[in-house]
């Protein structure tokens, strides 16, 4: 059945602009968009089974959060308080804090408890217009616990009306039982990847390339294992130092390289040549009180596609609003509003290898968000409040 969505101001984002259409209409069929344009130009041949009036609201493509760590046990609020009271990172680690405390809490949590926490967080993101969500593992760090987290992500995609893409991030941190044996751990990560993939739990593979995490040589081994399984890769690269991670990722045709505060010119050139998307994560930059900014002007000049994501995680980015991340990308990193909005829609979809969403265009998925706004530039103007009236996913109203 074809459904007509009428009386909307559309921001289609097609052709590199806002693509504004006053008194616009969409015709959807099944889960897809069949026609987009001014209501006055609606072809008479369309057989409309149902009409939905949108009251002149702003309709934009559903938002895509292309980098989150949404599934974990516990939280790190006490650690954040210690940091704000002056404690250093080492002191916190000695007191049992840091990423390993999330790993213990995640291992100890039941699948249902993890699902409960992740569902609440997914609903918060959806209230800010999100219709597609990437979720990384990386707080289990054993075969069993990584599988548990990825199963939770898959269940979330079935039980909550948001589309979930899973990413296996076994190479996130070294678990305590592998202390001093990081190469052995990388072997295990590669080995587990085959088992997790065989269970249908993995859409992509990620790693954390950093002096405090895994070296480029170790990451290359993880990526070789992914390539052998035909899985796309992405990388946490150049967050705290320049490791040449972006070049490494590009050499494997990575979908994206993420963070990038310390990205070099050579990294930019390699990403450009490979078509690797630069995913900026201003929430982590903000929470860590970073001062070094990703080289946005150089990325722009090189024509590297730029996306923005929440990086939601309990340690460095506990935020749950993708429009706020886009706002911060403008304020801190000097993205233009149009770049930031593209960065949380079609460029973010591209960072997940998805080419069927992120724009309002015939043939693409009917995933859109309805906003109490006049112009899409307001999405990155207001902050602390996401005036999203509804999200529509696959042509069904979900909230
Ligand atoms: N980069 C980060 O900022 C987070 N993970 C990563 O690869 C930190 C995760 C945490 O502290 O729990
Ligand atoms: Fe991350």
H/E element holding 53? strand 50-53
pLDDT score of 139 more than 80: yes
pLDDT in tens, 326-358: 999 999 999 999 999 999 999 999 999 999 999
Residue 353 tokens read as 């290898």
Angstrom distance (rounded) from CA 324 to CA 385: 9
**Nearest one of 383, 363, 360 to 8, comparing CA atoms:** 360
pLDDT band at 24 (very low <50, low <70, confident <90, very high): very high
Ligand closest to Cα of 315 equals 1
**Nearest one of 205, 199, 225, 196 to 165, comparing CA atoms:** 205
Distance 97 CA to ligand 2 centre (A): 18
Within 10 angstroms of residue 228's Cβ, the number of other Cβ atoms is: 12
Ligand closest to Cα of 280 equals 2
Residue 237 tokens read as 């690269």
Which residues contact residue 261 at a Cβ distance below 8 angstroms, ignoring those fewer than 6 apart? 238, 239, 240, 285, 290, 292, 293, 294
Angstrom distance (rounded) from CA 351 to CA 137: 17
Rg of the chain taking only CA atoms, in angstroms:
21
Q: Ligand 1 atom closest to Cα of 169?
A: 7
pLDDT score of 145 more than 80: yes
Which residues contact residue 134 at a Cβ distance below 8 angstroms, ignoring those fewer than 6 apart? 65, 66, 67, 68, 164, 165, 166, 167, 204, 309, 352
pTM of the predicted protein model: 0.97
The angle that helices 182-198 and 143-159 make with each other, rounded to 10 degrees, is: 40
Which residues have C-beta atoms less than 6 Å from ligand 1? Answer: 99, 102, 172, 208, 236, 239, 284, 313-316
Distance 110 CA to ligand 2 centre (A): 23
| Half-sphere exposure of residue 214: CA atoms within 13 angstroms, side-chain side | 32
pLDDT in tens, 46-88: 999 999 999 999 999 999 999 999 999 999 999 999 999 998 8
Within 10 angstroms of residue 197's Cβ, the number of other Cβ atoms is: 19
Phi, psi of 166 (to 5 degrees): -100, 145
> What per-residue confidence (pLDDT) applies to 89?
75
- Strand 20-29 with 2-11, pairing: antiparallel
Distance 315 CA to ligand 2 centre (A): 10
pLDDT score of 178 more than 80: yes
Q: End-to-end CA distance of the chain, in Å?
A: 21
Q: 156 to each of 134, 151, 187, 198, 222, how far by Cα in Å? A: 11, 8, 29, 20, 26
Provide the mean pLDDT of the chain: 97
Q: 316 to each of 43, 89, 239, 350, how far by Cα in Å? A: 50, 12, 12, 25
**Nearest one of 116, 121, 108 to 313, comparing CA atoms:** 121
Angle 83-174-235 from CA coordinates, rounded to 5°: 85
Q: Whose CA is nearest to atom 11 of ligand 1?
A: 315
Distance 68 CA to ligand 2 centre (A): 6
> What per-residue confidence (pLDDT) applies to 399?
73
Q: Ligand 1 atom closest to Cα of 213?
A: 7
> What per-residue confidence (pLDDT) applies to 94?
74
pLDDT score of 158 more than 80: yes
**Nearest one of 357, 330, 350, 331 to 341, comparing CA atoms:** 330
Distance 166 CA to ligand 1 centre (A): 17
Percentage, residues of the chain above pLDDT 70: 100
> Considering only 84-88, 180-184, 204-208, 263-267, which range has the smallest mean pLDDT?
84-88
Angstrom distance (rounded) from CA 119 to CA 133: 12
H/E element holding 297? helix 296-302
pLDDT in tens, 272-309: 999 999 999 999 999 999 999 999 999 999 999 999 99
Alpha helices in 167-210 (DSSP H): 182-198
Q: Whose CA is nearest to atom 10 of ligand 1?
A: 315
Task: Tell me the domains of the chain and their CATH numbers.
Answer: 2-61+359-397 (2.30.40.10), 63-351 (3.20.20.140)
Ligand closest to Cα of 316 equals 1
pLDDT score of 92 more than 90: no
Torsion of CA 87, 90, 94, 98, to 10 degrees: 90
Angstrom distance (rounded) from CA 203 to CA 229: 11
> What per-residue confidence (pLDDT) applies to 91?
82
Angstrom distance (rounded) from CA 390 to CA 176: 44
Within 10 angstroms of residue 209's Cβ, the number of other Cβ atoms is: 28
> What per-residue confidence (pLDDT) applies to 22?
96
pLDDT score of 379 more than 90: yes
Q: Quick check: helix, strand or coil at residue 227?
A: helix
Residue 339 tokens read as 């770049």
> What per-residue confidence (pLDDT) applies to 398?
86
pLDDT band at 97 (very low <50, low <70, confident <90, very high): confident
pLDDT in tens, 188-238: 999 999 999 999 999 999 999 999 999 999 999 999 999 999 999 999 999
């Amino acid at each position: 059945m074809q459904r007509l969505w009428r009386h909307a101001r559309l921001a289609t984002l097609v052709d590199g602009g806002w693509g504004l259409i006053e008194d616009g209409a969409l015709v959807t069929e099944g889960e897809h968009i069949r026609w987009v344009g001014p209501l006055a130009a609606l072809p008479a041949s369309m057989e409309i089974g149902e009409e939905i009036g949108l009251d002149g609201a702003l309709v934009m493509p559903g938002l895509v959060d292309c980098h989150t760590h949404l599934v974990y046990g516990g939280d790190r609020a006490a650690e954040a308080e210690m940091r704000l009271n002056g404690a250093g990172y080492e002191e916190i680690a000695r007191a049992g804090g840091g990423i390993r405390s999330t790993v213990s809490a995640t291992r100890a949590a039941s699948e249902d408890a993890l699902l409960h926490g992740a569902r609440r967080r997914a609903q918060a993101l959806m209230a800010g217009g999100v219709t597609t969500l990437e979720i990384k593992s990386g707080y289990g760090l054993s075969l069993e616990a990584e599988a548990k987290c990825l199963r939770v992500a898959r269940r979330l995609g079935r039980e909550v009306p948001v589309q979930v893409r899973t990413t296996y991030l076994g190479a996130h941190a070294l678990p305590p039982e592998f202390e001093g044996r990081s190469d052995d751990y990388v072997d295990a990560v590669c080995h587990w990847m085959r088992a997790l993939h065989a269970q249908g739990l993995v859409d992509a593979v990620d790693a954390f390339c950093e002096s405090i995490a895994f070296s480029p040589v170790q990451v290359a081994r993880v990526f070789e294992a992914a390539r052998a399984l035909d899985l796309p890769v992405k990388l946490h690269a150049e967050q705290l130092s320049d490791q040449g991670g972006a070049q490494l990722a590009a050499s494997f045709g990575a979908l994206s390289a993420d963070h990038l505060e310390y990205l070099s010119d050579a990294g930019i050139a390699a990403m450009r040549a490979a078509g690797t998307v630069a995913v900026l994560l201003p929430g982590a930059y903000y929470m860590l009180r970073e001062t070094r900014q990703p080289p946005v002007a150089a990325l722009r000049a090189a024509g590297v596609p730029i996306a923005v994501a929440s990086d939601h995680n309990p340690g460095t980015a506990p935020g749950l609003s993708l429009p706020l991340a886009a706002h911060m990308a403008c304020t801190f990193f000097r993205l233009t509003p149009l770049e930031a909005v593209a960065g949380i829609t079609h460029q973010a979809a591209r960072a997940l290898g998805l080419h069927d969403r992120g724009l309002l265009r015939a043939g693409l998925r009917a995933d859109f968000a309805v906003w109490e706004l006049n112009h899409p530039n307001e999405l990155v103007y207001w902050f602390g409040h996401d005036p999203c009236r509804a999200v529509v996913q696959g042509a069904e109203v979900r909230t």
